Chains A and B, each alone.
Chain A
Amino acid sequence: MSAVLRHREMLLVAAIALMVGLIAMRFPAFARPGNLATVFNDTSILVILALGQMVVILTRSIDLSMASNLALTGMLVALTNANYPEVPIPLIIVEAMTIGAVLGAFNGVLVWKLGIPAIVVTLGTLTIFRGLTFVVAGGTWVNADRMSADFIGLQRGMLLGLPVLSWFAVAAIAFFFLLLTRTPLGRSLYAIGVNPSAAVYTGIDVGRTKFIAFVLSGAIAGLCGYLWVSRYVIAATEVANGYELTIIAACVIGGISIAGGIGSVGGALLGALFLGIISSALPVIGVSPFWQMAISGTAILAAVILNARGERKQGRIILKKAEAA
């Protein structure tokens, strides 16, 4: 939308291109389209989750419960599949998104109706949802033997040369792009992040809009619950443990301001891809995967330092104005 945002995304594109270029110099196979498509497919779930998280962050809130929501929903749909293998997969996806949305709505109601800060609410539900994952499964897990072939196979099917999982990510990107740039709801999400009190005067119901944002992020987490358990063919209590911070990291690297109102679909996508490429590249260049965490941390710090420079408010610059006049 604005030159500043574009500039920020170009910087990230350049950083990613440089990284891929450097790796390709030693390991040309890494940069082949086929491999890049695989990297994208491996990152798809993170991309989708980052888009959901972004919607919440835009409204000056945060959803720390996404990874736990994912685990709980993933467990519930895996149990559904294990006990009722005849339930068609589209219905499973609807179930996942509905459960996720209900869990998100629980966060949203507490933020909207009781005015509890989002960080406190989702800190609570982070532990509650994960605890419930253990409870609903009776402390067990669901693995490949108990999942139907369709349940596991759907996202692995190929469509126009890309796995279906990648198409989920593409669809999410398209959906959020239209939502955020071309619908009144999307613009309201930005507006309440930029200036909540002005939003009230503009006739935007700030609480209700935040509620919708949480329902969206919940539905997204639910969808990813299905995608995650079918991809890794395991539903367990520890699924995606601690992943909420990776999702937020992707958003931060993508230039989404934690203070709300600033961020774009392109940024969330690039932030997630940045992390995805690092984790795919480490084994290729022969670095221990134990380096991944420290590299993400450094990337987050670098991103926040760079973004802060761009956002730093300018003074009035009285003299320059005088000289120009």
Chain B
Amino acid sequence: MHTAAALRAGELEPGTAVAQPLLSLSGVSKSFPGVRALHDVSLSLYPGQVTALIGENGAGKSTLVKILTGIYRPDEGEIRVSGDAVRLQGAEHAFRHGITAIHQETVLFDDLSVAENVYLGHAPRTRIGLIDWRAMRRQAADVLKRMGAGHIDADTRLRDLGIANKHLVAVARAMSIDARIVIMDEPTAALSAKEIGELFDLVAFLKGEGKAILFISHKFDEIYRIADRFTVFRDGEMVGEGMVADTSQNDIVRMMVGRAVDHIFPERQPNIGGPLLTVDGLSHPTEFDRVSFELRQGEILGFYGLVGAGRSEVMQAIAGMTGTSAGSITLAGHRIAPRTAADSIDAGIVYVPEERGRQGVVIGMPIFKNVSLPSLARTSKSGVLRLAEEFRLARTFTERLDLRASSLSQDVGTLSGGNQQKVVIAKWLATEPKLIILDEPTKGIDIGSKAAVHAFMAELVEQGLSVIMVSSELPEILGMSDRVVVMREGRVAATFDNAGLDAETLVRAAAGIVA
């Protein structure tokens, strides 16, 4: 930490020799057919400092990561490592220059051991050039211990570790090659609060070791907690940089979106009616136990909890995707027992899943076919398709969500993340449900799309629809919900009315801290 503090002090006095960046990019551009991903971008990373890379989805962050890790080659511009110009010829080459990345969804090998994950590609060899497994295990254990992760056994199969521990293995991999530049691409996306804390301890450790860290995140609290510097991208261009300590959150937001966002949650007058959905004692052999709650007409019910508290599993049971062992679900006075998603859609319940790319959109199919997919029974006549009906349905709902697309026949795969989410929500609304369950509806989408989704949710409940919103983001839970159910370890921990509710109460309930 002393080193880092000294370096920062050095950096604050321009012109001192300490401030030479470990890695610097200048004038980097990259285009794909029809898209300009990066244009004349510059970025510097300094030893012992965390630089936050901030930008909306589609701002060019992931392209930049791919350039730094050697996956893409820039069309123009220069990359310097420790002052020397380099041309990264592929991932291995970048790796040998000491650049390593830890990705959102950990990209490691589930069926290989921890030791092998750490040393794949640079395993210690015996004298005749064969892989020396014993040395590899020993060295992997050493690295893990050095970074305070001695609890991970080097022989474990990676599949058997949680996400947080997988991140630790990824960091151990970086340490094992003595990487000097560590890129963390949304590493906290799937972590619980406690795990995030542990990850940040590790970031502090890496800073102390003099590594230069590029930290990519959507979450401002995290950026203000651990970053020293920041760089903002917008539409593939660098639009601002500076020291985090000297810049207000609003200024950064303004750079990101090109204007100030003062209030992203819509004002609304809740118009709440009688009970619509009653869940009583719903249980599953391994995932959740005796879950009971009630949802009223025109209400937004927030579901808060740590990742892995069983919220998604409960929702998937209500939506017919998971079986249950006990309990009942009553919708508008009728007991239902959906066994497939089709059953629950027929009953008027739709579930907008968390993993948009895997569970939500059908990439390779155009927008209108995505929207009509759950409603095919209505848009077709005795099994025969009627395209005009499908277009009408798709238009009605995508235009209400302010979708940005060149035509309804455009492949959803070519849309941005936020617009894909709009297609997914349109698809579900087109079934004219009584109840819509949104699982992490704004995860990983840009601020503009986020606001559109929130405004639309408000509009929906005003029209009498009921919404269950599973979210791990406290501002969203507090900003949107009428009431909040908190789950912990597969059970309902508490239920709150949102009037006068504060964040700390929720966090305490989710973590099981008795006040």
Which residues of A line the B interface, CB within 8 A? 1-2, 4, 178, 181-184, 187-188, 190-191, 194-195, 197-205, 261-262, 315-322, 325
Report chain A residues within 8 Å CB of B131: 181-184, 187
Does the CB pair A262–B120 fall under 8 Å? Answer: no
**Neighbouring B residues of A1 by C-beta, 8 Å:** 113
Bound form: Cα–Cα A183–B129 in Å: 8
- Are A318 and B111 interface neighbours, CB within 8 A? no
Query: B70-93: which have CB < 8 Å to A?
Result: 70-71, 90-93
Judge whether A182 and B91 touch: CB under 8 Å.
no
Chain A nearest Cβ from B461, distance in angstroms: 30
Please name the 6 residue pairs, one residue from A and one from B, whose CB atoms are nearest each other, closest first: A203-B92, A322-B489, A198-B107, A182-B130, A203-B91, A318-B490
| Interchain CA distance A190-B92 in the complex, whole Å | 17
Give the Cβ gap from A301 to chain B, nearest Cβ, in Å: 24
In the assembled complex, B507 has its CB within 8 A of some CB on chain A: no
Q: CB distance A261 to B310 under 8 Å?
A: no
Contact across chains for A318 and B310 when beta carbons are under 8 A apart: yes
Q: Is the CB of A319 within 8 A of B92?
A: no
Q: Is the CB of B286 within 8 A of A187?
A: no
Q: Is residue B108 within 8 Å, beta carbon to beta carbon, of the partner chain?
A: yes
Q: Residues of B contacting A262 with CB < 8 Å?
A: 111
**Contact pattern, B 263-306, Cβ under 8 Å of A = 1, otherwise 0:** 00000000000000000000011111100000000000000000
Residues from chain A with a CB closer than 8 A to the CB of B443 are: none
**A198–B103 alpha-carbon span in the complex (Å):** 10
A190/B95 contact (C-beta < 8 A), A201-B69, A318-B309 known? no
When A316-B308, A317-B286 are in contact, do A191 and B490 touch as well, CB less than 8 Å? Answer: no
Q: How far is the CB of B419 from chain A (nearest CB, A)?
A: 24
Task: Please name the residue on chain A nearest to B108 by beta carbon.
Answer: A198
| Chain A residues within an 8 Å CB radius of B91 | 200-204
- Whole-angstrom distance from the CB of B101 to the nearest CB of chain A? 7
List, in ascending order, chain A residues with CB within 8 A of B123's CB: 184, 187
State whether the Cβ of B112 lies closer than 8 Å to any Cβ in chain A: yes
Contact A319 B489 (CB under 8 A): yes
The answer to whether B103 and A321 have CB atoms under 8 Å apart is no
State in angstroms the CA–CA spacing of A250 and B105 once bound together.
35
In the bound complex, CA of A320 to CA of B490 (Å): 10
A200 contacts which chain B residues (CB < 8 A)? Answer: 71, 91
Partner of B120, one of A187, A317, A319: A187
Q: Is the CB of A178 within 8 A of B130?
A: yes
How close is A47's CB to chain B, nearest CB, in angstroms? 23
Q: Which residues of A contact B70 (CB under 8 A)?
A: 203
* CB–CB A198/B157 < 8 A: no
Tell me, in angstroms, the Cα distance from A322 to B313 when the chains sit together. 15
Which of B's residues lie within 8 Å of A, judged by CB?
69-71, 90-95, 101, 103, 107-113, 116, 120-121, 123, 129-131, 133, 157, 284-289, 308-310, 313, 489-491
Residue from B101, B130, B287 in contact with A201 in the complex, judged by beta carbons closer than 8 Å = B101
Q: Pick the contact of A194: B111, B129, B285 (CB < 8 A).
A: B111
A187-B116 contact in complex given A203-B92, A261-B111, C-beta closer than 8 Å = yes
Contacts of A319 in B (CB 8 A): 284-289, 310, 489-490
| B129 CB contacts on chain A under 8 angstroms | 183
Residues of B within 8 A of A178 (CB): 130
Known: A190-B111, A191-B109, A200-B91. A320 touches B157 (CB 8 A): no
A183, A188, A203, A316: the one contacting B90 at CB < 8 Å is: A203
Complex Cα distance, B284 from A320, in Å, reads 11
| Complex Cα–Cα for A181 and B126 (A) | 13
Would B90 and A205 count as touching, CB distance under 8 A?
A: yes
Q: How far is the CB of B25 from chain A (nearest CB, A)?
A: 19
Q: Which residue of B lies closest to A205 (CB)?
A: B90
Complex-state Cα separation, A187 to B133, whole angstroms: 12
Q: A197-B107, A201-B101 are in contact. List 5 more A-B contacts (CB 8 A).
A: A182-B131, A202-B91, A316-B287, A318-B287, A321-B489
10 contacts between A and B (CB under 8 A): A190-B111, A194-B112, A198-B108, A203-B121, A261-B109, A316-B313, A317-B286, A318-B310, A319-B288, A319-B310
Report the bound CA distance from A175 to B103 in whole Å: 36
Nearest residue (CB) in A for B322 is A315
Using CB atoms, name the residue of chain B closest to A261: B111
Q: How far is the CA of A262 from the CA of B110 in the complex (A)?
A: 11
User: Among the listed A184, A195, A203, A204, which residue makes an inter-chain contact with B110, where contact means beta carbons less than 8 Å apart?
Assistant: A195
Looking at the assembled complex, report how far the CB atom of A321 sits from the nearest CB atom of chain B, in whole angstroms: 7
Residue of B nearest to A204 (CB): B121
Residue of B nearest to A323 (CB): B489
Q: Cα distance A204–B116 when bound, in Å?
A: 14
Complex: A66 Cα to B211 Cα, angstroms: 50
Please give, as numbers and ranges, the residues of chain B lying within 8 Å of A204 by CB-CB distance.
Answer: 91-92, 120-121
B90 — which chain A residues lie within 8 A by C-beta? 203, 205
Query: B120 contacts A202, CB within 8 Å?
Result: yes
A184 / chain B contacts, CB cutoff of 8 Å: 121, 123, 131
Nearest residue (CB) in B for A3 is B157
CA of A204 to CA of B112 in the docked complex: distance in angstroms?
Answer: 15
Residues of B within 8 A of A199 (CB): 109
Q: A201 to B490, Cβ gap below 8 A? A: no
> How many Å from the CB of A116 to the closest CB on chain B?
18
Contacts of A191 in B (CB 8 A): 109, 112, 120
Q: Closest residue of chain B to A1, judged by CB?
A: B113
Contact across chains for A318 and B116 when beta carbons are under 8 A apart:
no
Minimal Cβ-Cβ distance residue in A for B156: A2
Bound CA span A261–B159, Å: 13
Note all chain A residues with C-beta closer than 8 A to B288.
Answer: 318-319
Chain B min CB distance to A317 (Å): 5
B112, A190: Cβ atoms closer than 8 Å: yes
Return the chain B residue nearest A262 by Cβ.
Answer: B111
Q: Which residues of the other chain, A, contact B310 by a CB distance below 8 angstroms?
A: 318-319
CB distance from A208 to the nearest CB of B (A): 11
Q: Hey, which chain B residues are within 8 Å of A321, CB to CB?
A: 489
> Which chain B residue shows the least CB distance to A321?
B489
Q: Which of B109, B111, B131, B490 has the most CB of A within 10 A?
A: B111
Closest residue of chain A to B69, judged by CB? A201
Choose among B91, B93, B157 the residue with the greatest number of A CB atoms under 10 Å from its CB.
B91
- Counting chain B CB atoms within 10 Å of each CB, which of A198, A262, A317 scores highest? A198
Q: How far is the CA of A325 from the CA of B103 in the complex (A)?
A: 29
Q: Are A194's CB and B110's CB within 8 A?
A: yes
Contacts of A318 in B (CB 8 A): 286-288, 308-310, 313, 489-490
Q: Which residues of B contact A195 (CB under 8 A)?
A: 107-110
Task: Please determine whether A317 and B130 come into contact, CB atoms closer than 8 angstroms.
Answer: no
User: Closest CB of chain A to B490's CB: distance in Å?
Assistant: 4
Give Cα A316–Cα B192 distance, bound, in whole angstroms.
Answer: 15
